Amino acid sequence: MTLMLASVLSRAEAEIAVARGADIIDCKDPSRGALGALALAEVAEIVEVVDGRRPVSAVVELPHDVSHARQAIEDAAALGVEFVKFALPVTPDAREIIDELAPLATRARLVAVLFADLSPDLDILPSLARAGFAGAMLDTAHKGKGRLLDYMNIGELSAFVGKCHELGLEAGLAGGLEAPDAPRLLVTKPDVLGFRGALCRGQNRRDTLDAQAVSLIRDLIPGTGAPGNRTPAAQPKPVDADHVFVRDLVLPVAIGAYGHEHGHTQRVRFNVDVEVARVAGPDDMRGVFSYDVVMDAIKMILASGHVELVETMAERLAASILPHERVRAVTVQIEKLDVAPGAVGVRIRRERPPETANARHLPPGLGGAHDPISKS
């Protein structure tokens, strides 16, 4: 299951985030940059008002002196926060710093934050795992200069999440995320999606939280959101069907069963038509199935490496789209353009079973094994 992290700067904002269903309450001061720490007294107030209803995380600004860094983490942990986040230094001694902080992994669940806009070294992830860190998060350092998806594509983010999971680390994604990014990023199967600006008035991360904005993001992330503490928004009833399509998308693809087709790409044309249940309801992202989801699914399949058969690719593409909310059926046509004067390929149509169509549920793989709340 993918959890929603809401960054807050006061007890009042924490109350809004809890009431509107955020899964993790994150203490952070947006006026101090991407990862600005709140004063310990303010963190203590937030822990008090949350009162165990949600896990609380706190940002710690990591001093260059490791002994001071350890003290800062210990001070935050002593307040009762479950997660302590900090920006991992982009310095040659980063691994030594990780080793120095390793003993604190028994006091709090340590999360190292890497910045997608600062050429993050993902080879550092095994060191985090060996040191007992709980997880790693990708964020952006320079707010207002691009969001996470401007620096790393869906395939790269999926690879980051997969590598974290292979190492036993929880994986988080954040960085100027907006409402349309939520359904796109769910396909990468992160444990946590983190938000600040998208939850605030006017999407200004330095302004106060807006309850309706928090609810919108909550409703875009499948799941119940902290059972017993959230009143789900009323879901509009499907009234008709629309078609969302990607047409004549030509990309270089590593595909083919013949030996001569390996080791290089060839042009492949994608046509995808998704039948989506139309809903009568608010004119906002809750009622949208975006063509971006289709394009992201294609890119993720291409990023996975060589595929032998167009039939296999078509089936994988259909299978990745059908689990999305309100999708009734999908038609996928894939054509190889470089093997004949015309085009050769396959067209398939797949439907969701009637009993699951229009139901609100998780795509396959989003749940269970990497739940940051349930993990001990």
In contact, 222 and 186? CB cutoff 8 Å: yes
Query: Are 4 and 193 contacting, i.e. CB atoms less than 8 angstroms apart?
Result: yes
Q: What is the DSSP string of 41-66?
A: HHHHHHHHHHTTSS-EEEE----SSH
Q: How far is residue 316 from each of residues 258, 297, 299, 301, 325, measured CA to CA in Å? A: 20, 9, 12, 8, 18
User: Which active-site residues does the annotation give?
Assistant: 28, 85
38's CB contacts (< 8 A; 6+ apart) are 9, 27, 28, 29, 46, 58, 59
The dihedral formed by the CA atoms of 80, 191, 177 and 146, expressed in degrees to the nearest 10: 100
- Residue identified by tokens 């710093």 is 97
Torsion angle of C-alpha atoms 363, 365, 368, 369, degrees rounded to 10: -160
Q: Return the half-sphere exposure (C-beta side, CA atoms, 13 A cut-off) of residue 184.
A: 24
Q: What is the DSSP letter of 184?
A: H
Taking the CA atoms of residue 16, residue 18, residue 23 and residue 27 in that order, the dihedral angle to the nearest 10 degrees is: 70
3-state class of 212 per DSSP?
helix
Tell which residue, 186, 333, 356, has the closest CA to residue 277: 356
Cα–Cα dist 352/274, whole Å: 11
Q: Which residue has the tokens 């094994």?
A: 369
| Cα distance between residue 212 and residue 200, in whole Å | 9
Decide if 113 contacts 87 (C-beta within 8 A): yes
**Both tokens of residue 71?**
């003290």
